[in-house]
């Protein structure tokens, strides 16, 4: 900043007889001459914050933690909207904030770290940011700061990905083979062969909070076609306390609250 701004010489205050006179001179300079105050907040915003944003080259791990810590202490949530930080991960890599989640040390609302094996490829923020912290409010303040900087609260499509991997693991105890077919638009996510020889078509639904489950579109068509070989698998309480429930032939058990009449049906019934 000294290279980009002209800094007043300290001798300007040298002739002041006491602190009151120095304050008067400062007031004159700031209030009447247009001189700007170079305080810690200004330094952070103009010199340090730009170094930790993804618009700048990746900093070293040590510089990143140091600069980020200064900005968190001095700026708090006073971060421009749309900012994205470089983040140091638990593995020691530097990644963009949108690629990271908060680990348990930061007391996030949802703990995605403990059972992270069900969502491959996610990275967690390094606990180095909390080094030396003794204030019990610090994790909360860091959470708010990181949220402003783009750190995510949950992985993209994380609930459904978690549910499918969890279901495959659980079904592995009773099935000979399990094949993911969710990308094939069959109306269900898994094809599994049970040890009894039964072929199971399994539609997996993941939930963070218990709520009704709806089958629609090709899911409903597949449920009606395959009947007893179609299974609805609900994985609830993701990510912290997952439990799996299986409903056989859900089309026969579900509540149908609407009927769709295709255009080629109603158009055959013209009213005179």
Question: Do strands 175-180 and 190-194 pair parallel, antiparallel, or not at all (unpaired)?
Answer: antiparallel
C-alpha distances out from residue 27 to 9, 24, 43, Å: 16, 5, 20
Residue 81 phi/psi, 5° resolution? -60, 140
pLDDT in tens, 132-158: 777 778 899 999 999 999 999 999 999
Q: How many residues does the chain have?
A: 272
At 257, is the pLDDT very low, low, confident or very high (cuts 50, 70, 90)?
confident
Q: Which helix (H) or strand (E) holds 232?
A: strand 230-236
Domains defined for the chain, CATH in brackets = 1-36 (no CATH), 40-148 (no CATH), 158-253 (3.40.1350.10)
pLDDT in tens, 165-189: 999 999 999 999 999 999 999 999 9
pLDDT in tens, 228-251: 999 999 999 999 999 999 999 998
| Residue 263 clears pLDDT 80, i.e. is over it | yes
């Amino acid at each position: 900043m000294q290279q980009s701004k002209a800094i007043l010489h300290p001798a300007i205050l040298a002739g002041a007889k006491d602190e009151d006179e120095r304050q008067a001179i400062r007031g004159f300079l700031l209030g009447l001459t247009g001189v700007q105050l170079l305080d810690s907040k200004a330094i952070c915003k103009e010199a340090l914050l730009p170094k930790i944003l993804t618009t700048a080259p990746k900093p070293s791990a040590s510089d990143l933690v140091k600069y980020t810590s200064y900005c968190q202490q001095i700026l708090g949530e006073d971060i421009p909207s749309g900012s994205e930080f470089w983040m140091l991960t638990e593995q020691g890599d530097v990644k963009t904030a949108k690629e990271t989640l908060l680990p348990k040390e930061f007391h996030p609302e949802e703990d995605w770290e403990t059972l992270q094996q069900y969502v491959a490829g996610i990275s967690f923020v390094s606990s180095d940011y909390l080094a030396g912290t003794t204030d019990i409010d610090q994790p909360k303040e860091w959470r708010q700061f990181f949220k402003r900087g783009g750190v995510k609260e949950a992985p993209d499509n994380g609930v459904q990905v978690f549910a499918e991997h969890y279901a495959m693991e659980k079904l592995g105890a009773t099935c000979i083979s399990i094949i993911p077919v969710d990308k094939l638009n069959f109306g269900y996510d898994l094809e599994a062969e049970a040890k009894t020889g039964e072929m199971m078509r399994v539609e997996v639904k993941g939930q963070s909070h218990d709520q009704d489950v709806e089958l629609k579109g090709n899911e409903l068509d597949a449920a009606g076609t395959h009947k007893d070989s179609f299974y609805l698998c609900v994985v609830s309480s993701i990510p912290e306390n997952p439990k799996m429930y299986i409903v056989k032939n859900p089309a026969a058990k579900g509540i149908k609250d609407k009927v769709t009449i295709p255009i080629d049906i109603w158009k055959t019934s013209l009213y005179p």
